[in-house]
Amino acid sequence: MTAPVGTSSPDAVWNRLARKAELRSKAGLTRTVRPRAAAIDLAGNDYLGLSRHPAVLTAAAAALAEYGLGAGGSRLVRGTTGLHEQFEADFARHTGTETAVLYSSGYMANLGAVAALAGPVLLDAHAHASLHDAARLAGGRSDTFSHNDLEDLERQLRELRPSIVAIESVYSVLGDAAPLREIHALTSAHGALLLVDEAHGIGTVGPRGAGGVAAAGLAGDPGVVVTATLSKALGAAGGVVAGPATLRRHLHDTGRTFIYDTAPPPAVIAGAGAALAIASESESAQTELARRAALAAEVLGAPTPAAGVLSPPAGDAKAATGWAERCAAAGVAVGCFRPPSTPDHRSRLRVTINTGVDAADFGRALEVIAATRPESEEA
């Protein structure tokens, strides 16, 4: 029987996908899922080593025993516990915002925040993929401005007149910081809300790890909305949107990624709450992170990062994967950024600073990374 006009047979679909996979392989863009092996971890995002902190594990274990494995439903059905509400209150207090709303991931938090705020969106070209996806899915107009370029931002604020400008406080690829005060001055002058993704800022920068917004003196500003993930410096999983109480009410009533998604497990949130408390007790963890970041930049000949992300250029995609594989063979786990994950379309190694790694091991890992660098790389 002939397939109807305008449709494809299943075989045609799979053949097309197989051809695309072959092209990606030739370009060095194949991505492989592997169980993690024993190694010095400079690939994960557990910047402060809190995922294995005894107090974090104890809190998670107690919640696991009390509530069981999963949340049991969405936040509005059976998924909300006192632990969820306590974390929201603690996070809002820590970041100086009025309220906060928990999600199952930072990705879901960004989708929910952008959809809720509605209207034209202007994004930094290097903003996380979840923010760009959120802008597209929201269905309105969206555009990008050149990374951290205040002149381009001001020009596009005049031309596009966006409702939202979306940026990161610390960028996940290059590891540089946004000029938050200057950007906020521009968004305020043009009547736009500023959405700041603090995924790599919470726990690593600002007073007691309160993030880049707090560091810029903008905590609680009604023109700023904060989003974050709990999977980086807090060593857990989940996401959060923080801002005015009006936003919280709107997310509860209309936010599809809040209403229809299963709540994060209570045990994970209990652990995240303990991690938040530890990270906010003093600034010693942030001081050690900064010291190690400066050391890594010196050894690898790279600019000192704003927090815990260092991404030296590696040539093309194949050179980057080869570098990462040589590090792995020597017992050092590092990340590997290749297009389309890199907004500047350059392949890079991704080294994350982990203060939970023994200091001597951290130093040895940097030596391995430097010694295995490709002979030829892009400047």
Look at residue 288 and tell me whether its pLDDT is greater than 90.
Answer: yes
Q: What is the DSSP letter of 303?
A: P
The side-by-side arrangement of strands in the sheet containing 121-124 is 99-103, 239-243, 224-229, 193-197, 164-168, 121-124, 142-145
Is residue 16 in a domain? no
Facing residues of 376 across strands?
A: none
Q: Which tokens sit at 60?
A: 């998670």
What span, in angstroms and rounded, lies between the C-alpha atoms of 30 and 188? 43
Of the three residues 281, 298, 316, the one that is the final residue of a domain is: 281
- Structural domain including 113 reads 54-281
Is residue 11 in a domain? no
348 and 366 housed in the same domain: yes
What span, in angstroms and rounded, lies between the C-alpha atoms of 177 and 302? 15
Task: Indicate the residue type of 262.
Answer: T
154 and 302 housed in the same domain: no
Is residue 7 in a domain? no
301 and 157 housed in the same domain: no
What span, in angstroms and rounded, lies between the C-alpha atoms of 299 and 313? 14
pLDDT of residue 379: 39
3-state SS, residue 193: strand
What span, in angstroms and rounded, lies between the C-alpha atoms of 256 and 111? 9
For 4-38, the pLDDT digits (tens) are 555 578 989 999 999 999 888 887 778 777 777 88
Q: Which residues in 290-305 are b (16+ Cβ under 10 Å) and which e?
A: bebbebbbebbebeeb
Is residue 33 in a domain? no
CATH at residue 241: 3.40.640.10
Range scoring the smallest mean pLDDT among 10-14, 121-125, 270-274 = 10-14
218 and 69 housed in the same domain: yes
Which residues, 6 or more positions from 50, have their beta carbon under 8 angstroms from its beta carbon?
56, 203, 233, 234, 235, 275, 278, 279, 356
Position 337 confidence tier, pLDDT thresholds 50, 70, 90 = confident
Is residue 208 in a domain? yes
63 and 43 housed in the same domain: no
Look at residue 1 and tell me whether its pLDDT is greater than 70.
Answer: no
Q: With contact defined as beta carbons under 8 Å apart, do 293 and 304 qualify?
A: yes
Of the three residues 281, 300, 329, the one that is the final residue of a domain is: 281
> DSSP letters along 252-270, please?
HHH-HHHHSSBPPPHHHHH
Q: Apex CA 132: angle with CA 130 and CA 138, to 5°?
A: 95
Is residue 71 in a domain? yes
Count helices and strands (H / E) in the chain: 14, 11
What span, in angstroms and rounded, lies between the C-alpha atoms of 227 and 106? 7
111 and 228 housed in the same domain: yes
Is residue 29 in a domain? no
Chain-centroid distance, C-alpha 265: 20
315 and 268 housed in the same domain: no
Which position has the token pair 């040895």?
Answer: 364
Length of the chain: 379
271 and 289 housed in the same domain: no
Q: With contact defined as beta carbons under 8 Å apart, do 353 and 310 qualify?
A: yes
359 and 218 housed in the same domain: no
What span, in angstroms and rounded, lies between the C-alpha atoms of 363 and 38? 17
Is residue 318 in a domain? yes
Question: Which among 1, 338, 342, 287 has a CA at the least distance from the CA of 171?
Answer: 342
Q: How many CB atoms lie within 10 A of CB 181?
A: 11
Provide the sign of the torsion angle of the four alpha carbons 183, 204, 363, 319, taken in this order: negative
pLDDT of residue 4: 57
Mean pLDDT calculated for residue range 159-171? 96
75 and 64 housed in the same domain: yes
Of the three residues 264, 281, 298, the one that is the final residue of a domain is: 281
Q: 284: exposed, middle or buried (C-beta count within 10 Å: 0-12, 13-18, 19+)?
A: exposed
For 186-205, the pLDDT digits (tens) are 999 999 999 999 999 999 99
For 103-113, the pLDDT digits (tens) are 999 999 999 99
102 and 247 housed in the same domain: yes
pLDDT of residue 3: 52
Q: With contact defined as beta carbons under 8 Å apart, do 356 and 40 qualify?
A: no
Query: What domain count does the chain have?
Result: 2
231 and 360 housed in the same domain: no
What span, in angstroms and rounded, lies between the C-alpha atoms of 140 and 161? 13
Range scoring the smallest mean pLDDT among 23-32, 69-78, 104-113, 234-243 = 23-32
CATH at residue 291: 3.90.1150.10
